[in-house]
């Protein structure tokens, strides 16, 4: 099949920024050799997860969107389009952000809107969701808990996103955890959100996630590519690795939406509580 070759990463990233970049360089080279053109790294790939829930870790490095670290990421991306999560410093505020780059520089940036686990005590919230054009098509981005809210993905789909990239540091359950991470209830939720958001918006879904541990957190990995019908095309399971799939994005969207178009068949006037009479009307 001819199309866009894309990959989502499941890997562990920590406070050692040089080590993180070494890992990114290795994975990017591996993906490039496999013909990947769109590559998604997890939330907080530059500097490790943004919160220390048990007080055992210091804060992540605060990076500027126009700073040397993002420029370094862009240089590593080269002709590829690469997304990665980082702690963004802007106007005296810290944000949990994801940036999209290629060799030309920054193509897009998203600040996490929905904040679980007291993230709002240390980080500002993003103000919305917007798709943007790239050399591999029109993309939308979100971070972790954002995908638990259907409005997030719907806003991106209505803005023309063909591929939605969701980067996460999604852990297993903190209460009654299953020794087998593949059976963990939070892992099931992670996978369910990925498939549901792809299906209900009929978009290609690229989901990257941290693996390994951070403090008391045990990340579920589960990097995957999901087609517009909600079918998983590639999945790392609970292990570190690359989920790689090749998708003719335009053909996949056209096929999924031909008979039952979930965006086309909306009735915005029927959802006034959602502001449906204003959004996409």
| Contact in structure between 16 and 28 (CB atoms under 8 Å) | no
The answer to the question of residue 15 being in a domain is yes
Identify the CATH number of the domain in which residue 139 sits: 3.60.110.10
Taking residues 134-142, report their average pLDDT. Answer: 98
Assigned domain for 279 exists: no
- Please report how the helices 68-77 and 17-33 are oriented relative to each other, as an axis angle in degrees rounded to 10: 20
Count CB neighbours of 91 within 10 A: 6
Domain count for the chain: 1
Q: What is the pLDDT of residue 64?
A: 98
Percentage of the chain lying above the pLDDT 70 cut? 95
pLDDT on residue 159: 98
Per-residue pLDDT at 22 exceeds 60: yes
Stretch among 48-52, 54-58, 103-107, 142-146 having the lowest mean pLDDT:
54-58
The mean pLDDT value of the chain amounts to 94
Phi (first) and psi of residue 150, to 5 degrees: -55, -30
Q: Looking at residue 59, what is its pLDDT?
A: 84
Residue 206 belongs to a domain: yes
Binned at pLDDT 50, 70 and 90, residue 276 comes out as: low
**Is residue 280 in some structural domain?**
no
**CA 165/CA 140 separation, integer angstroms:** 6
Helix axes 150-158, 185-201, angle to 10 degrees: 30
Q: Label residue 2 by pLDDT band (50, 70, 90).
A: confident
Instruction: For residues 200 and 197, give the distance between their C-alpha atoms in angstroms, rounded to a whole number.
Output: 5
At 278, the pLDDT band (50, 70, 90 cuts) reads: very low
**Comparing 190 with 56, which gets the higher pLDDT?**
190
Give every CB contact of residue 98 below 8 A, 6+ residues apart in sequence: 43, 83, 84, 85, 86, 109, 110, 112, 141, 142, 143, 165, 167
In a domain, 281, yes or no: no
Looking at residue 280, its pLDDT comes to: 39
Whether 73 is in a domain gets the answer yes
Q: How high is the pLDDT of residue 277?
A: 43
132 occurs within a structural domain: yes
Check: CB of residue 193 under 8 Å from CB of residue 153: no
pLDDT of residue 50: 81
Instruction: Classify residue 250: in a domain, yes or no.
Output: yes
Query: Please, which pLDDT band fits residue 97 given cuts at 50, 70 and 90?
Result: very high
pLDDT in tens, 44-84: 999 999 876 555 568 899 999 999 999 999 999 999 999 99
Longest CA span, the chain: 53
**Residue 201 and residue 230 in contact, taking contact as beta carbons nearer than 8 Å:** no
Containing domain of residue 27, as a range? Answer: 4-274
């Amino acid at each position: 099949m001819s199309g866009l070759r894309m990959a989502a990463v499941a890997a562990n990233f920590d406070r050692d920024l040089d080590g993180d970049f070494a890992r990114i360089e290795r994975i990017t080279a591996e993906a490039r050799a496999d013909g990947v053109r769109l590559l998604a790294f997890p939330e907080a790939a530059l500097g490790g997860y943004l919160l220390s829930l048990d007080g055992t870790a210091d804060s992540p490095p605060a990076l500027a969107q126009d700073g040397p670290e993002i420029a370094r990421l862009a240089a590593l991306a080269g002709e590829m389009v690469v997304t990665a999560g980082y702690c963004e410093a802007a106007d005296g505020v810290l944000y949990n952000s994801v940036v999209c780059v290629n060799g030309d520089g920054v193509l897009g940036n998203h600040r996490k809107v929905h904040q679980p686990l007291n993230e709002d005590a240390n980080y500002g919230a993003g103000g919305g969701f917007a798709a943007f054009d790239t050399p591999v098509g029109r993309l939308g981005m979100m971070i972790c808990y954002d995908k638990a809210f259907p409005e997030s993905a719907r806003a991106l789909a209505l803005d023309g996103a063909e591929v939605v990239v969701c980067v996460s540091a999604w852990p297993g359950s903190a209460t009654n955890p299953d020794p087998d991470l593949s059976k963990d209830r939070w892992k099931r939720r992670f996978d369910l959100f990925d498939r549901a958001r792809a299906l209900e918006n009929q978009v290609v879904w690229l989901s990257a996630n941290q693996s390994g541990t951070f403090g008391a957190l045990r990340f579920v990995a589960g990097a995957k590519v999901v087609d517009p019908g909600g079918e998983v095309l590639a999945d790392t399971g609970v292990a570190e690795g690359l989920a790689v799939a090749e998708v003719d994005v335009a053909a996949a969207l056209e096929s999924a939406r031909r008979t039952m178009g979930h965006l086309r068949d909306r009735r915005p006037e029927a959802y006034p509580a959602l502001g449906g009479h204003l959004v996409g009307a």
